[in-house]
Amino acid sequence: MSNVRDTVPITPAGAQKLKDELKRLKEVERPAVMRAIEEARALGDISDSGDYRAAKERQGFVEGRLRELESKVSRLQVIDPGKLQGTRVAFGAVVTVASADNGEESTYRLVGDDEADLKEGTVSISSPLARALIGREEGDTVTVKTPRGDRDMEILEVRFGK
């Protein structure tokens, strides 16, 4: 488990997405849940009210997510990949690799945990793939530990930018 004070590396787009979610939870979700609880209370006996229980469960989820996001947003370390450069793999890099097994090429951008989406070609900085790539350069071969065993990959290109 990481230290609560640890910074959270994230791209500007990822930071905006978290801030937008936080704002939506505070301004839309929380008031809606409070209204639902009040409406259920107004109907009388809440001891066996499914509506009341559902609203209280939703309130617990919303409040928990709010606490999580507030903590995370306070620790964001926004890193703009467009302002980075270099030849070594680091946060925000777009890395093209080739599988040593079959030569198949794949391209990934290394991003924060909260913005990783393999379908979008983004992988978490804390993933086994990213950990194997960090600090390496074009031409290096890395071994990535996967559920299906170790895979060797050659780094074909490292670039930064949008």
Domains parsed from the chain with CATH numbers: 8-78 (1.10.287.180), 81-159 (3.10.50.30)
Can you give the pLDDT at residue 2? 47
> How is residue 34 written in tokens?
């409070």
Answer yes or no: is pLDDT of 42 > 70: yes
What is the pLDDT averaged over residues 42-48? 75
Can you give the pLDDT at residue 1? 44
Can you give the pLDDT at residue 162? 65
CA atoms within 13 A on the CB side of 43: 12
Q: Single out the residue of 112, 29, 116, 16 nearest to residue 66, CA to CA.
A: 29
User: CA end-to-end span of the chain, whole Å?
Assistant: 31
Which residue type, as a one-letter code, is found at position 79? I
- Cα angle 59, 62, 63; round to 5: 85
pTM attached to this predicted model: 0.77
Local structure of 72: helix, strand or coil: helix
Q: For the segment 118-161, what is each residue's pLDDT rounded down to a tens digit? A: 899 999 999 999 999 999 999 999 999 888 889 999 999 999 97
44: left (phi over 0), alpha (psi -120 to 50) or beta: left
Alpha carbons 112 and 114: distance in angstroms, whole number: 5
